[in-house]
Amino acid sequence: MLKLNARKLRSPKKSPRKKSRSLRNIFRLITRRLRFFRRKHGLNQFLLKKKRPTVLYRSFRCKYKGYSGEQLSWLQVVSRLIGSVLPAILPWALLYGGYALLVSITHHFHAEFISKLISDSKVLPNVVLSFNIILSVLLVFRTNSAHDRFWEGRKLWGALVNTVRNLARDIWIVIEERCPENRVEKEATLRLVVAFAFAMKLQLRREAVNDELVPLMSSLQYSRLRDSNHPPLEIAFWIGHYLQNEYARGTVNVYQLNTLQKLVDDLVDILGGCERILKTPAPILYVILLKILLLNYFAILPWALVDGLTWWTAPIMTFVALVLLSIDEVGAEIEEPFGHDPNDLPLDLICNTMLNNVNDLIAIAPCTQYYSSRLG
């Protein structure tokens, strides 16, 4: 009887197990619901949709896609952008790191003498501090001036896109068609407007006329363009000559002619603005002075760091050299924004955008007087 009573007294202790089992059942139910939701709706896509307005458009991948039109992962974007700068500065950074290693070795064998020399003389810390201030100001000025040139070039190419669209639209709408040959001439002129942008891109990159211009003009015009000293100006002359002939034939009035010729003048003005950026580089003396200051700074800095960092002087020095030299190299790269470097302006994408705009205009534009009368 005592044993039975003891078992009855112990029986209420089984309730915590029931509670734990109920908690496990609830947890399993929740996990099943989550799995069902993921299978039905796609949890990853749901989260991406929630992140898209705030996070996804600010990522490296989306920004670079909007800039260059290429779909790359964030790692590929970083490697491509840094890869254009790193090969030019890495040998110099390693050289300065090796110099810092020699300073560490010298300090290892003559530690007391070098420590006493640095502690007794207050010149070296003051010199390093002065270099820090001077180089900071010069590198900021260098980067800002290079970015101003880059941004001015981007504004000029943005103005080129708008001018090409306006000129193509006005030519297509304003100039009257009286026979099928007029439509063929208009389409050829619209392609010449786009050919101006492609020729301008090649001119700024100091490249010869290539096959990009073949679909945009006749074979005779292409052969003449290859022998021209300035292809964009030659194309602008052809466009202006076409407009003047249309005025002589009476398909446009004098006010419309002035408006169209003003747009052609705007094309030439934009070309001149880009050539001004291209042919007016940063003062060479300023660049040389900055290089000399960086060289002297890297020669003095290890002696100021070696007493506290000892063998860490070389890697710290290599890192500092990479940072400062990369800032200088980025400034040197973007101050001429019309090249093929990943950090330059995406001129190929901009030209293809204008080509697609004009092709769409030719394909979907409504027919003018000649074709409307034929349909009527």
Answer whether residue 7 is part of any domain.
Answer: no
Q: What is the pLDDT of residue 4?
A: 44
- Cα–Cα distance measured from residue 173 to residue 361, given in angstroms and rounded to the nearest whole number: 10
CA distance 19 to 233: 87
Residue 214 lies in a domain: yes
**pLDDT for position 258:** 94
| Residue pointed to by tokens 């990159």 | 205
- By CB atoms closer than 10 A (0-12, 13-18, 19+), residue 326 is middle
Residue 301 maps to a domain? yes
The pLDDT, as a whole number, for residue 372 is 46
335 within some domain? yes
User: What span, in angstroms and rounded, lies between the C-alpha atoms of 160 and 31?
Assistant: 57
Looking at residue 6, its pLDDT comes to 46
- pTM strictly above 0.85: no
Distance CA 336, CA 338 (A): 6
Residue 159, in any domain of the structure? yes
Domain with 354 in it: 82-375
Residues 6+ apart with CB under 8 A from 173: 365, 368
Number of domains in the chain: 1
Q: Is residue 39 part of a domain?
A: no
Composition of the chain by helix, strand, coil, percent to 5: 85, 0, 15
Walk along the chain (376 residues) in steps of 10 and give the mean pLDDT of each run.
45 49 66 64 49 50 64 68 81 91 83 66 78 87 90 95 95 86 90 96 92 92 91 95 92 92 96 93 84 90 83 90 90 88 88 93 66 46
Residue with tokens 């201030």: 133
Domain assignment of residue 13, yes or no: no
Q: List C-alpha distances in Å: 31 to 17, 26, 39, 41.
A: 21, 9, 12, 15
Query: d(Cα 327, Cα 136) in Å, to the nearest integer?
Result: 11
- Beta-carbon count within 10 A of 150 CB: 21
pLDDT at residue 187, rounded to an integer:
92
Q: What integer pLDDT is reported at residue 121 of this predicted model? A: 64
> What is the rounded CA–CA span in Å between residue 182 and residue 173?
13
What tokens does 276 get? 């001004």
